[in-house]
Amino acid sequence: MALQRSDVEKIAHLARLGLNEGELPRFTDALNSILGLVDQMQAVDTSGIEPLAHPLEATQRLRPDQVTESNQRDRYQAVAPSTENGLYLVPKVID
């Protein structure tokens, strides 16, 4: 089932990606071509096969719940587009 332009617009919204209107047809074709490649997976019999998430099957390590980092807020905020009083500035969310 090929993606339609409306599907692509919906996925772009989920991804918060502002796509150029004029490029939508070409973008839709490219996605369908990639999904055509991906759909070759469906021919593989994987019944009873456990999914593999980590090549070495490692699980997440835990560490003691202790503070290990010092506060470097100013340093890390220096690369932000817009900050004020240690806060990140964005357009108004609630009127």
Partner 1 sequence: MHQLTLAEIARGLADKSFSSEELTGALLSRIKQLDPQLNSFITVTQAQALDQARAADARRASGETGALLGAPIAHKDLFCTNGVRTSCGSKMLDSFTAPYDATVVAKLAEAGMVTLGKTNMDEFAMGSANESSHYGAVKNPWNLEHVPGGSSGGSAAAVAARLLPATTGTDTGGSIRQPAAFTNLTGLKPTYGRVSRWGMIAYASSLDQGGPLARTAEDCALLLQGMAGFDAKDSTSVDEPVPDFSANLNASLQGLRIGLPKEYFGAGLDPRIADLVQASVKELEKLGAVVKEISLPNMQHAIPAYYVIAPAEASSNLSRFDGVRFGHRCEDPKDLTDLYKRSRGEGFGAEVQRRIMVGTYALSAGYYDAYYVKAQQIRRLIKNDFMAAFADVDVILGPTTPNPAWKLGAKSSDPVAAYLEDVYTITANLAGLPGLSMPAGFVDGLPVGVQLLAPYFQEGRLLNIAHRYQQVTDWHTRAPNGF
By CB under 8 A, name the binding residues for partner 1.
3, 8, 11-12, 14-20, 27, 30-31, 33-42, 44, 46, 49-56, 58, 60-61, 63, 72, 75-82, 88, 90-93
| Cβ closest to partner 1, residue 67 vs residue 90 | 90
Complex with partner 1: residue 18 or 67, whichever CB lies closer: 18
Beta bridge partners of 83: 88
CA angle 57–62–68, rounded 5-degree value: 135
Closest to partner 1 by CB, 53 vs 67, is: 53
Q: Which residues contact 11 (CB under 8 A, 6 or more apart)?
A: 3
For residue 83, give the 3-state DSSP assignment. Answer: strand
Closest distance between partner 1 and the C-beta of residue 82, in Å? 7
Q: Which residues contact 28 (CB under 8 A, 6 or more apart)?
A: 3, 4, 5, 8
Residue nearer to partner 1 on the CB measure, 25 or 39? 39
Q: How far is the CB of 88 from partner 1 (least distance, A)?
A: 5
